[in-house]
Amino acid sequence: MSNALNLLGAYFKYKFKVIAKNRVNYLYVAPFFILFLIFILAPVVAAMALSLTHYNVLQPPTWAGLDNYYRLFMEDDLFIIAIKNTLVFAAIVGPGGYLLSLIFAWLINELPPKIRAVFTILFYTPSIASLACVNVFKYIFSGDSQGMVNAVLLKWGLINSPVQFFADPVVMPYVVIGVILWSSIGTGFLSLIAGLQNVDRSQYEAGMVDGIKSRWQELWYITLPNIKSQMLFAAVMSITSAFGIGVQITQYVGFPSPDYAMHTVMHHMEDYGVTRFEMGYSLAISTILFIAMIYCNKGVQYLLRRVGK
Amino acid sequence: MANILKAHAGARANRSTGGDIVLVICLLFLAIIFAFPLYFTIINSLKPADEFFLFPPKFYVIKPTGQNYQNLFRLMSTSWVPFSRYIFNTVFITVVGTVGHCIITSLAAFPCSKFVFPGSVGFGKLVRTSLMFSSSVTALATYIIMNAFGWIDTYWAMIIPAISTSLGFFLMQSFMGVVPDALLESATLDGAGLGRQFWTIVMPLVKSGWLTLAIFKIQELWNMQQSSYIYSETLKTMPYAISQVTSGGIARQGAAAAGSVILLIVPVVFFIIIQSNVLETMATSGMKD
């Protein structure tokens, strides 16, 4: 018994020594760690805890156990629609935006510096300008005969009556998803560009000597392994924006969208949280979204580990 | 630098001038599609009222005018709180938030990505996971915390959440991971402490990383509409003020177009300045190893 205690004591002594030895490291991490703990971790944990309660914001929460989750999957048909829509949109916007970012970053990187800067700005601005451009797109795809696309299609005789681009449940998703894809070349794209510029160029010559024959081999065996950490960053960004899709949809088709054709999990969450004051229910939705994203991230990490192999 | 690049390009696999030209033309075509709505926003802000609703819509301006901008500034000068106050708020929050975020997250990411000590790996994972929790639902708890600190309706309520996001840590960590350990080890042998290693070796080497981070932050904070922790009119931001001025239907559409250009132009200018700096760091990256 005393032996085990001694062992435990020695272990803690050792741990303490390691921590004391690294105290400068902890000092560096401390400011961010404290802010992270208070303003990110605490709210997230609180949100997850409240998802197990009935909470209308005005009265104290009452314990609900897994009621909210049961209701979501068993009784809420709209949530099932929202999940389906979100998965379909995320499956297009996530990988789509990611691949576009990667391809453009790679192609642009080959160009002379000045031209590259111009292209970087052109491809990146939609993600900054997406808000400013809402009216422009509404104008281009306007549902009356004066909308640009409708005017052209009518003039060429391709359609007889104007297409309701932002109201027809069949056409609507294509247009809106197209617009969202257009503005999805953002955070990840820039980090990929910066990462590509840090690749040590002498590796390419070494690769030539080692028998790399084509651009594709060069990309797969040298370029991509070098920017793996940026690829992971871009992937996480893609996942969060793909699953968090909602605000942009509301801007174009309003809420609720016609026929719930573009009703996403994000909409469902805000509907219950902001409009109906069912905070516990809303937070249960956000927790499910969170879990889905974590698993998605695990999958992406698995795929990224195979890059360059 | 261009010469060095060309020399290297010549030494690489399977390149041809013709291929490069085709590539540039394809990219240019795509870039035009990507830039079109941007172009259209700017053009719209220069259109006089009678050209706004022309049919068929025009892709160019017949009689360019600064009227929309004049209207916007005239409308803004009538606001109850002087407009310069809104501008100051936005500039202040953007500068403090961006600099603070870059420094604090870089400081934390440095030991976590370069050394192994208890908790370093776990913390990195925790931060990355936290990125996936949608921030809109944490507003409630954040409000309670802000209230406990007495920060509601102060600049802190806007600056601290901007500084403490997980994004910067994750980004800086991914850039610092590739800094060669040998460089830091030789610096330690030469007697350089952690602080010296951080400022003179790591930060210059990951310049493209924190400049990219600065772009994200400037763009985010410059466009910050409204914080749910702010009530005083004197603490509200410029994008909020502009949206109030321009939400007047058709009559204000010209001013709205001018407003969106103003909100857009500052991040784009910064982007151009910063991006040219990112390009410069490339020249020094050859010094690694």
- Tell whether A144 is within 8 A of chain B (Cβ): no
Give the number of domains in chain A: 1
- Tell whether A195 is within 8 A of chain B (Cβ): yes
Q: Which residue of B has its CA nearest to A105?
A: B27
Nearest of A49, A245, A271 to residue B134 by alpha carbon = A245
Domain assignment present for A170: yes
- In angstroms, the CA A147 to CA A154 distance is 10
Domain span at residue A132 reads 77-305
Give the number of domains in chain B: 2
* Amino acid at position B79, single letter: S
Domain assignment present for A63: no
Contacts of A225 (CB under 8 A, 6+ apart): A307, A308
Enter the ipTM.
0.83
pLDDT value for A95: 93
B142 contacts in A (CB within 8 Å)? 39, 43
Give me the percent of chain B exceeding a pLDDT of 70.
88
| CA A208 to chain centroid | 37
Domain assignment present for B74: no
- Tell whether A304 is within 8 A of chain B (Cβ): no
Is the domain of B147 the same as that of B85?
A: yes
Contact B38 A115 (CB under 8 A): no
Q: At B161, which CATH number?
A: 1.10.3720.10
pLDDT greater than 60 at residue B282: no
Contact A128 B27 (CB under 8 A): no
Nearest of A120, A96, A93 to residue A106 by alpha carbon = A120
Domain span at residue B23 reads 16-65
How many Cβ pairs within 8 Å bridge chains A and B? 279
Is the domain of B108 the same as that of B54?
A: no
Give me the percent of chain A exceeding a pLDDT of 90.
25
pLDDT value for B278: 67
C-beta of residue B174 within 8 angstroms of C-beta of residue A233: yes
Is the domain of B186 the same as that of B214?
A: yes
Q: What is the largest CA-CA distance in chain A?
A: 93
Contact A124 B212 (CB under 8 A): no
In the stretch 116-135 of chain A, residues with CB closer than 8 A to chain B read 116-117, 119-126, 128-129, 131-133, 135
| CA A29 to chain centroid | 26
Backbone φ and ψ of A54, nearest 5°: -95, 125
Domain assignment present for B72: no
- In angstroms, the CA A211 to CA A218 distance is 10
Is the domain of B276 the same as that of B200?
A: yes
Domain assignment present for B9: no
Contact B164 A39 (CB under 8 A): yes
Contact B132 A294 (CB under 8 A): yes
In this complex, the residue of A22, A29, A270 whose CB is nearest that of residue B136 is A270
Contacts of B7 (CB under 8 A, 6+ apart): none
Over residues A62-77, the pLDDT tens digits come to 898 898 999 999 888 9
Helix (H) or strand (E) holding A62: strand A62-63
Over residues B60-102, the pLDDT tens digits come to 778 888 888 888 888 888 878 888 888 899 999 999 999 999 9
- In angstroms, the CA B173 to CA B175 distance is 5
Is the domain of B29 the same as that of B103?
A: no
Nearest of B45, B96, B56 to residue B252 by alpha carbon = B45
- In angstroms, the CA B174 to CA A195 distance is 9
Contact A132 B108 (CB under 8 A): no
Domain assignment present for A111: yes
Is the domain of B58 the same as that of B130?
A: no
Is the domain of B219 the same as that of B264?
A: yes
Is the domain of B108 the same as that of B58?
A: no
Domain assignment present for B217: yes
Is the domain of B195 the same as that of B246?
A: yes
Q: Which of A34-43, A136-145, B68-77, B179-188 has the lowest mean pLDDT?
A: A136-145
Contact A290 B110 (CB under 8 A): no
Q: How far is A104 from chain B (nearest CA, A)?
A: 8
Domain assignment present for B289: no
Q: At A156, which CATH number?
A: 1.10.3720.10
